């Protein structure tokens, strides 16, 4: 899910990368093109293992690799340009929750819905927002402060301990106007890698012809990319069921 704390004018060109990490964790990298009139925060609900605590999410600074997704896209031969493929992808109150600097972002992790009351006031959603979304009752939340204007938001990256280590989770549900609609207009590219020993069905995904080390700057990815593995890509466009995407691992 991608949820904003203030109205946005447009969000598109969303790109997400996922890969399993050690000890049941998952890496996630997220980027998009955003246009907004005012400062706001983006909230990403995550299926974090219950009881993981306030330090469960490890934020990763990719300010030194702003073209992470541009390089990732280079690993796939360009299809013939058509109306549907001609997109360009760059790149004693309770204590306050910690706000950390991650490159040009400020970020926080909110371990439970109840902990939103402890979040910095700039990052809060209207009261009662999450009570209307019971599916996310047990989730944790990564929160990123974003600046106003029109820009491609360079990759926001982190790892988290998954509730189910046999799944790769992609936060794709949309809430851009304060409401959850049954269907939403998607403009997403999803990328992933298999970690050693993993087997999961990627029959609808395109596989990179070469290993990641041939097109990614692995040394700049801070462990997010496995240079010895292929990458996989899937485009999701148009009006679709508004839900998160989960890939099961055998």
Domains and CATH numbers, the chain: 2-248 (2.60.250)
Predicted local confidence at residue 2, as pLDDT: 67
pTM equals 0.84
Residue ranges, the chain, pLDDT below 70: 1-2, 79-104, 122, 127, 149-152, 176-181
Predicted local confidence at residue 196, as pLDDT: 86
Dist. CA 123–CA 169, nearest whole Å: 23
Predicted local confidence at residue 97, as pLDDT: 53
Helix (H, G, I), strand (E, B) or coil at 130: helix
Task: Kindly tell me the burial class for residue 27, based on how many C-beta atoms sit within 10 Å of its own C-beta (0-12, 13-18, 19 or more).
Answer: buried
Predicted local confidence at residue 92, as pLDDT: 41
Contacts of 198 (CB under 8 A, 6+ apart): 20, 249, 250
Neighbours of 89 (CB within 10 A): 15
Predicted local confidence at residue 37, as pLDDT: 80
**DSSP code, position 72:** H
Place of tokens 């999803």: 190
Dist. CA 185–CA 213, nearest whole Å: 33
Helix (H, G, I), strand (E, B) or coil at 70: helix
Predicted local confidence at residue 227, as pLDDT: 97
Helical residues (DSSP H) of 75-143, grouped into ranges: none
CB 139 within 8 Å of CB 46: yes
Predicted local confidence at residue 91, as pLDDT: 44
CB 85 within 8 Å of CB 76: no
């Amino acid at each position: 899910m991608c949820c904003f704390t203030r109205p946005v004018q447009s969000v598109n060109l969303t790109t997400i990368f996922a890969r399993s990490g050690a000890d049941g964790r998952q890496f996630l990298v997220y980027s998009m093109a955003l246009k907004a009139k005012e400062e706001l925060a983006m909230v990403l609900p995550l299926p974090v293992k219950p009881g993981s605590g306030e330090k469960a999410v490890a934020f990763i600074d990719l300010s030194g690799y702003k073209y992470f997704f541009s390089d990732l896209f280079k690993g796939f031969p360009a299809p013939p340009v058509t109306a549907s493929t001609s997109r360009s992808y760059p790149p004693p109150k309770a204590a306050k929750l910690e706000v950390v600097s991650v490159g040009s972002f400020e970020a926080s992790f909110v371990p439970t819905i109840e902990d939103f009351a402890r979040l910095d006031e700039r990052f809060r959603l209207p009261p009662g927002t999450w009570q209307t979304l019971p599916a996310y009752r047990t989730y944790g939340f990564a929160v990123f402060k974003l600046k106003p204007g029109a820009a491609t938001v360079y990759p926001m990256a982190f790892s988290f301990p998954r509730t189910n280590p046999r799944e790769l989770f992609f936060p794709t549900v949309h809430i851009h106007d304060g409401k959850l609609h049954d269907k939403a207009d998607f403009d997403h590219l999803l990328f992933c890698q298999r970690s050693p020993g993993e087997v999961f069905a990627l029959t609808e995904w395109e596989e990179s012809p070469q290993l990641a080390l041939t097109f990614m700057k692995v040394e700049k990815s801070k462990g997010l990319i496995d240079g010895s593995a292929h990458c996989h890509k899937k485009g999701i466009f148009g009006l679709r069921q508004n839900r998160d995407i989960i890939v099961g691992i055998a």
